[in-house]
Structure 1
């Protein structure tokens, strides 16, 4: 099951291949894949550190989702075309 979740997290951003994501500051595929890879690394770190059954996978899922969404938000806000920013 955990492998399926990891595969889903790696492939999910592919649905944004031809569209822009306005909520993430118009992040494109490269940024979404980067943030998903970071979240997968966090998931692996949690699983390797805890190693105690279903609780580990639940905590890893929550941690990876939090990391993915916060890094996607950060990347979106740090781009020059993000809402609330202007070119100088």
Structure 2
């Protein structure tokens, strides 16, 4: 294994992490912006108001995108095992 192969594997790992985490992060971001807008409009400045809606949104996003995330991780795992089996 040389540097190019190692960097390619790290690049694929980072891309898999970004793709797999994007549904949960996107849901949390949308809910966070919505709650922040609600707080700005009503001038309710409660710090703990965002936690429960964000947790629920992340949980629902993970349930909805579970097969997609699992497929991405399985694809990366197959790539790694294929590289191990056939050599770098």
Q: Calculate the TM-score normalised by the size of structure 1.
A: 0.47
Q: Calculate the TM-score normalised by the size of structure 2.
A: 0.47
Structure of greater Rg: 2
Structure holding more helix per residue: 2
Q: Whose RCO is larger (CA < 8 A, sep 6+)?
A: 2
